[in-house]
Amino acid sequence: RKEVEQDPGPFNVPEGATVAFNCTYSNSASQSFFWYRQDCRKEPKLLMSVYSSGNEDGRFTAQLNRASQYISLLIRDSKLSDSATYLCVVNTAPGGYNKLIFGAGTRLAVHP
C-alpha cells in the first residue's frame, strides 16, 4: 500500500465548477500536511498547508481529518488556470526532520 493515495483523475470540469479532491495517508505519525500544484513538465509548487481546523486561501479550502487519516482540497469557481496536477503531501518526519512523502497526484482539467 502506498503511503499517500490519491484518485489520479482526470477530473474534467467546466469553468466555474466546484471540485473536490481527496487523499488518504497510512502513517498515523504524520505531522504536517500540504497540497502542492504541478503544471505539466514543471516543478511542484506549494499551494497551501493543511491544518487540523481546516483552512482557506481564496477559492481553495483544505481539510484534515486525523482520525480517518484523510485530507481534502476544495476548489470553488474553477478557472482555466487551475488546470494542473494536485499533489497531496504528508510529512512523516521520522527522527524529527522534514521528509515529505508525495501522492501520485490528481489531474484537473478545467474547460471553457
Partner 1 sequence: DTGVSQNPRHKITKRGQNVTFRCDPISEHNRLYWYRQTLGQGPEFLTYFQNEAQLEKSRLLSDRFSAERPKGSFSTLEIQRTEQGDSAMYLCASSLERGHGYTFGSGTRLTVV
Which positions lie near partner 1, rule CB under 8 A? Answer: 4, 8, 31-32, 34, 36, 42-46, 49, 87, 89, 91, 93, 95-105
* CB contact set of 72 (below 8 Å; sequence gap of 6+): 20, 21, 22, 23, 62, 63
Closest approach, Cβ 25 to partner 1, in A, equals: 12
Query: Exposure of 52 by Cβ count < 10 A (0-12 exposed, 13-18 middle, 19+ buried)?
Result: exposed
Closest approach, Cβ 28 to partner 1, in A, equals: 17
Nearer to partner 1, 51 or 70 (CB): 51
Closest approach, Cβ 18 to partner 1, in A, equals: 24
Asked if 33 contacts 73 with a C-beta cutoff of 8 angstroms, the reply is no
Nearer to partner 1, 30 or 63 (CB): 30
Closest approach, Cβ 71 to partner 1, in A, equals: 14
Rounded to whole angstroms, the Cα distance separating 112 from 107 reads 17
